[in-house]
């Protein structure tokens, strides 16, 4: 037969004398030091530790509120900057898409070297005497060509100027007329220029006389015109100055329209993307 295991009886509880006795280790450990019991008639209120730390002392409440508001202001500022940047980027993208669509529809082209030419030039009152001044009256027939643009017109605005010079000395100057040029159009107009007092040297007068006798007097016609491109009936580009320099030769200077030999024009204009 198997041996029986008898339960062990529990140890007897310590008596009151033994329970009240403390060991030296218990007296030294701080966890065994309990606070004294409160006096009769008092109440104990326990406050959570996190709540105590969140409430600043009265003398630091204003500074605490100021420091606590900084992260919120920074977050609002960052959010406002992000929204402004996103809105600006969206506007740039929309404008780029709109400009690209308009360009694909109208295919505008800025005035090129073939946009201007001088067909005739009339010079009167240009004397070759030994006087100190040589006033002149010049009328130039200028040809403006816009056949390169099939759907875009050109506006020549007021404020332009045309000058005629010989050997670097300006003989006459006048305004460029303001007009609108439709697409696929060639316009010829007369630019009247009033003479200026020009002091030519003795060598320049002799050279001018020889060139007039040879019926080949070189002249320089320069124009500075404010121009903008018309896209349909509503759209306009910014106004951009177009500078054209044409080198010509005339066969006489007796006041009648002279035969002009155009030796080419140079047009200086900013790229078309600058016009927007």
Contact present, 126 and 253 (Cβ < 8 Å): yes
Categorize the per-residue pLDDT at 8 as very low, low, confident or very high, splitting at 50, 70 and 90: low
Residues 6+ apart with CB under 8 A from 18: none
State pLDDT tens for residues 216-273: 889 999 999 999 888 888 888 888 899 999 889 888 877 777 778 877 788 888 776 6
pTM of the model as a whole: 0.62
Helices (H) and strands (E) in the chain, counts: 5, 11
Sequence spans of domains, the chain: 53-106, 113-275
Mean pLDDT of the chain: 77
b/e per residue 154-186 (b: at least 16 CB within 10 A):
bbbeeebebbbbbbeebbbbbebbeeebebeee
State pLDDT tens for residues 181-226: 999 999 998 888 987 667 778 888 888 888 888 888 899 999 999 9
Find the helix or strand (DSSP H, E) in which 195 lies: strand 186-195
d(CA 187, CA 160): 16
Contact present, 164 and 171 (Cβ < 8 Å): yes
pLDDT over threshold 70, residue 88: yes
Q: What is the arithmetic mean of pLDDT over 22-49?
A: 60
Helix, strand, or coil (residue 192): strand
Contact present, 237 and 268 (Cβ < 8 Å): no
């Amino acid at each position: 037969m198997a041996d029986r295991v008898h339960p062990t009886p529990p140890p007897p509880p310590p008596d009151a004398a033994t329970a009240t006795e403390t060991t030296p280790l218990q007296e030294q450990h701080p966890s065994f030091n309990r606070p004294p019991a409160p006096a009769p008639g008092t109440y104990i209120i326990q406050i959570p530790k996190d709540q105590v730390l969140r409430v600043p002392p009265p003398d630091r409440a204003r500074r605490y509120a100021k420091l606590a508001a900084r992260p919120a202001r920074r977050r609002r500022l960052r959010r406002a900057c992000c929204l402004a940047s996103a809105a600006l980027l969206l506007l740039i993208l929309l404008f780029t898409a709109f400009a690209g669509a308009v360009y694909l529809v109208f295919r505008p082209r800025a005035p090129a070297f073939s946009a201007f030419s001088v067909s005739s030039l009339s010079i009167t009152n240009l004397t070759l005497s030994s006087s100190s001044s040589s006033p002149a009256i010049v009328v130039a027939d200028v040809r403006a060509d816009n056949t390169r643009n099939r759907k875009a017109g050109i506006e020549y605005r007021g404020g332009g100027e045309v000058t005629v010079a010989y050997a670097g000395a300006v003989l006459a100057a006048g305004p460029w007329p303001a007009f609108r040029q439709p697409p696929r159009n060639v316009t010829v107009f007369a630019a009247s220029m009033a003479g200026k007092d020009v002091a030519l040297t003795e060598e320049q007068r002799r050279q001018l006389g020889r060139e007039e006798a040879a019926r080949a007097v070189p002249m320089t016609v320069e124009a500075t015109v404010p121009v903008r491109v018309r896209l349909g009936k509503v759209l306009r580009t910014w106004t951009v100055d177009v500078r054209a320099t044409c080198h010509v030769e005339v066969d006489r200077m007796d006041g009648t329209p002279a035969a002009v030999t155009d030796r080419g024009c140079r047009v200086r204009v900013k790229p078309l993307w600058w016009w927007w």
